[in-house]
A and B are shown apart, each in its own frame.
Chain A
Amino acid sequence: MMTEISYLLFQTVLAVTFLACAAYVVFFISRNKKVRTIARWILIASGILQTLSLISRALLTGYAPVTSQHEAIAFFAWATTWAYLSFRWRYTVKNFGTFASLLILILLMISAAVSREPAPLVPALQSWWLPVHAGVSFVAYGFLALAFCGGLMYLLQEKELKSKRFGYFFSRLPSLDALDQLNSHCLTAGFLFLTLGIITGTMWAHQAWGSYWQWDPKETWSLITWFIYLIQVHQRITGGWRGKRAAVMAILGFSAVVFTLWGVTFLLGGVHSYAH
């Protein structure tokens, strides 16, 4: 019963997110403000449905739904959606929704493509640290994903301004300043949660294995990612890193995030690997 509900919910999420993304793309092309309002409401609906979908999955498996590839990516999409919605609540960045919703849709589609079998969790890891550590880390990834979108938009717009050849994106993308501020906000929030994610991770490791840090490949890569963002935050504050450099760093940092999430699992293995 729960399996069916969970399955149906996920399919609905996929469809609703596709609609939101399509509406945002229509807005991007037509610049009709009414379409944007519709798109935003559909995305909010998608966010709520994703939450329900995760809850149903948690009820199905009995613990926080982040142990299989399918669950982890769906969780990532959920975090990105709510990171976007919370950002949108405070700031307006022209056409940011189009890029963000596209990323969310891609994440959900990858999630739909991999096996949906629940991955049993070894008893040693069944702890309330799991939802805390995974939740905090994914919220961090959500914000960093937004910074990545903002970085892409910045590079596109900067290219138009520098080359002085104004194409399709020039009038549709926001000002460089708006994109740089987006980078700053998302980076700050993302880095904060990333730090919390690592701290909660060490706590959990201590509880489960008795040592805070054991240089497992995933831990190593998390630390590398964290350092990349640390450099960024530091340089932004002290050296005035902004604009193109910040945008490139946001994209680089996000690639490190993606590698930490999947590259490590597939290439290097370790205690964090899902579905083993």
Chain B
Amino acid sequence: MPTERILLVGVNHTSAPLAVREKMALTGGYEEPLQRLSTIPGCREYYLLSTCNRVELLLVAEPGAQLEDELIRFLFGGRISAEKCREYIYIYYDEKAVRHLFMVATSLDSMIIGEAQILGQLKEAYRHASRQHSTGPLLNRLLHKSFSVAKRVRSETGIGSSAVSISYAAVQLAKKIFGSLKDKKVLLVGAGEMAELAAEHLVGQGVDEVVVANRTLSRAVDLAKRFNGTAVSLEELVLQLERVDILISSTGASGIILHKDQVRPVMRLRRNKPLFLIDIAVPRDLDPGLNDLENVFVYDIDDLTSVVELNKSEREKEAVKAGRIVDEEVLKFQRWYKGMDVTPTIAAMRKKADDICRMELEKTLPRLQCLSDKERQSVEKMAAAIISKILYDPLVFLKQDSCKHDSKVKVDMLRTIFGLEDDNE
């Protein structure tokens, strides 16, 4: 029994190129692969995670070269030679496996650090595994722990706070120009999905009014209705520039639709109030020269992407903090894991019983003043005897090697029944 270890085998976006990940045998649902895993000898508990960036197996099993080969065959389906496969995968045992799982759950191992999706995918995978009863006391504990670690990282670090999408970047820039967006007006030129998304974010920040200009007016009217705004025709573009503050352009036009010379006179009419022009169309809609005008700020899709990159590096700083939390939690889990053996469990049960016995005696004996020393000793003996008789059967159950029960299951059961779970300080 003690030879069983926690084992994690997997492939992710850094260990294997997309071409290899595409060949991975695991497509479709979780049921069939989990079924196949159960046939591999030596796997006591198992769990499988499959996302577009990673495929990972987490097992409690008796390790050995043979098991590793089996798992590799399971992952790659024999489509790539075994030696080649070893270059793409990572195999972690025990503490390292736990750490890796926590890193995945907290998104520290993701392509975009701080993304929130992975936790949902992890929970989904766990749901499938527990439905098939493939997880036992160890993995249940471990996976639940990984969820709470992810939660802790999210609340204690700023890892998920900075904007890593184009539309968030637009909001962030708008705030650096205007301060508050409360009384600002937005003009959407073209009714693309991206523009709609960006407008949604701006409205979420309290933008006052949304105006939609589109070649086909009906589409403009539809979109305007969504934001309680107004629709105008594309010919009114320059006229509208007098009163809006932010413009998001995403038309399919083949050329520039707004030139520097058209905007220059508008700025005088606007009394130089700043104008934030966002061009998310490819090819570009707005003249890049507009950026030279005073109080006009033009950002195209590449510029916004660079803001996103900047935010990513900001997140990486927070990731250091998150890494420390993960370290802490791995340590805590290791402490719990060590206690999951038979011997420490027996000791913990005895200690708990002895503690209760001692406390009760200390409470009762001072009140029994009439007792002689000898009688007092008898009472103490009696209490100790009760304790050991009650503990006798559970201890026998724990120690016996039956093939019906896994020792980990037994340990877990007794630890739960006797309330020995207060390992979290």
A binds B: yes
A contact set with B: CB distance below 8 Å: 157, 161-162, 164, 166, 170-171, 174-178, 239-245
Interface string of B287-323 (1 = CB under 8 A from A): 0000100110101000100110010001000000000
Which chain B residues (173-229) contact chain A, with CB distance < 8 Å?
A: 173, 175-180
Does B176 contact A239, Cβ atoms closer than 8 Å?
A: no
Nearest chain B CB to A24 CB, angstrom units: 21
Does A242 contact B272, Cβ atoms closer than 8 Å?
A: yes
Q: How many A-B residue pairs have CB under 8 A?
A: 52
Nearest chain A CB to B59 CB, angstrom units: 44
What residue of chain A has the Cβ atom nearest to residue B303's Cβ? A164
Does A162 contact B177, Cβ atoms closer than 8 Å?
A: no
Question: How far, in angstroms, from A243 to B271 measured CA to CA in the complex?
Answer: 11
* Chain A residues within an 8 Å CB radius of B415: none
Does A170 contact B295, Cβ atoms closer than 8 Å?
A: no
Does B307 contact A239, Cβ atoms closer than 8 Å?
A: no
Question: How far, in angstroms, from A157 to B295 measured CA to CA in the complex?
Answer: 12
What residue of chain B has the Cβ atom nearest to residue A176's Cβ? B177
B274 lies within 8 A of chain A by Cβ: yes
What residue of chain B has the Cβ atom nearest to residue A238's Cβ? B271
9 additional contacts, CB 8 Å, given A161-B176, A170-B310? A157-B176, A166-B307, A175-B176, A176-B176, A177-B179, A240-B272, A241-B272, A242-B271, A243-B294
B273 lies within 8 A of chain A by Cβ: yes
Question: How far, in angstroms, from A255 to B392 measured CA to CA in the complex?
Answer: 92
A to B CB contacts below 8 Å, 16 in the list: A161-B177, A166-B306, A170-B310, A171-B314, A175-B178, A175-B179, A176-B176, A177-B274, A178-B179, A240-B270, A240-B271, A241-B272, A242-B295, A243-B294, A243-B295, A245-B294
Nearest chain B CB to A222 CB, angstrom units: 29
What residue of chain A has the Cβ atom nearest to residue B306's Cβ? A164
Which residue, of B176, B295, B310, has the highest number of chain A Cβ atoms within 10 A? B176
Question: How far, in angstroms, from A175 to B174 measured CA to CA in the complex?
Answer: 9
* Chain A residues within an 8 Å CB radius of B306: 164, 166
* Chain B residues within an 8 Å CB radius of A166: 306-307, 310
* Chain A residues within an 8 Å CB radius of B291: 162
Nearest chain B CB to A133 CB, angstrom units: 36
Does B176 contact A243, Cβ atoms closer than 8 Å?
A: no
Does A177 contact B177, Cβ atoms closer than 8 Å?
A: yes
Nearest chain B CB to A172 CB, angstrom units: 11
What residue of chain A has the Cβ atom nearest to residue B276's Cβ? A161
Nearest chain A CB to B205 CB, angstrom units: 13
What residue of chain B has the Cβ atom nearest to residue A175's Cβ? B179
Interface string of B272-285 (1 = CB under 8 A from A): 11100000000000
Question: How far, in angstroms, from A176 to B179 measured CA to CA in the complex?
Answer: 7
Nearest chain A CB to B173 CB, angstrom units: 7
Nearest chain A CB to B147 CB, angstrom units: 31
What residue of chain A has the Cβ atom nearest to residue B162's Cβ? A171
Does B173 contact A161, Cβ atoms closer than 8 Å?
A: yes
* Chain B residues within an 8 Å CB radius of A178: 179
Nearest chain B CB to A152 CB, angstrom units: 17
* Chain B residues within an 8 Å CB radius of A177: 177-180, 274
Question: How far, in angstroms, from A170 to B295 measured CA to CA in the complex?
Answer: 17
Question: How far, in angstroms, from A232 to B331 measured CA to CA in the complex?
Answer: 64
Does A244 contact B295, Cβ atoms closer than 8 Å?
A: yes
* Chain B residues within an 8 Å CB radius of A162: 291, 297
Nearest chain B CB to A241 CB, angstrom units: 7
Does A244 contact B178, Cβ atoms closer than 8 Å?
A: no
Nearest chain A CB to B320 CB, angstrom units: 15
What residue of chain A has the Cβ atom nearest to residue B178's Cβ? A177
Nearest chain A CB to B314 CB, angstrom units: 8
* Chain B residues within an 8 Å CB radius of A242: 271-273, 295
Cβ-neighbour of B297 out of A161, A171, A174, A245 (below 8 A): A161
Question: How far, in angstroms, from A243 to B273 measured CA to CA in the complex?
Answer: 8
Which chain B residues (305-350) contact chain A, with CB distance < 8 Å?
A: 306-307, 310, 314
Interface string of B39-58 (1 = CB under 8 A from A): 00000000000000000000
* Chain A residues within an 8 Å CB radius of B177: 161, 175-177
Question: How far, in angstroms, from A178 to B295 measured CA to CA in the complex?
Answer: 14
Nearest chain A CB to B220 CB, angstrom units: 29
* Chain B residues within an 8 Å CB radius of A244: 294-295
* Chain B residues within an 8 Å CB radius of A243: 272, 274, 294-295
Does A240 contact B179, Cβ atoms closer than 8 Å?
A: no
What residue of chain B has the Cβ atom nearest to residue A165's Cβ? B306
Which chain B residues (153-183) contact chain A, with CB distance < 8 Å?
A: 173, 175-180
Does B176 contact A170, Cβ atoms closer than 8 Å?
A: yes
Question: How far, in angstroms, from A244 to B295 measured CA to CA in the complex?
Answer: 7
In the A-B complex, the 3 residue pairs with the closest CB atoms:
A240-B271, A177-B179, A175-B179
Which residue, of B270, B273, B274, B310, has the highest number of chain A Cβ atoms within 10 A? B274
* Chain A residues within an 8 Å CB radius of B294: 243-245
Cβ-neighbour of B299 out of A164, A170, A175, A245 (below 8 A): A164
Does B175 contact A175, Cβ atoms closer than 8 Å?
A: yes
Nearest chain B CB to A93 CB, angstrom units: 10
Nearest chain A CB to B208 CB, angstrom units: 15
Nearest chain A CB to B245 CB, angstrom units: 10
Does A239 contact B271, Cβ atoms closer than 8 Å?
A: yes
* Chain A residues within an 8 Å CB radius of B271: 239-240, 242
* Chain B residues within an 8 Å CB radius of A176: 176-179, 274
Question: How far, in angstroms, from A162 to B297 measured CA to CA in the complex?
Answer: 6
Nearest chain B CB to A141 CB, angstrom units: 27
Nearest chain A CB to B292 CB, angstrom units: 9
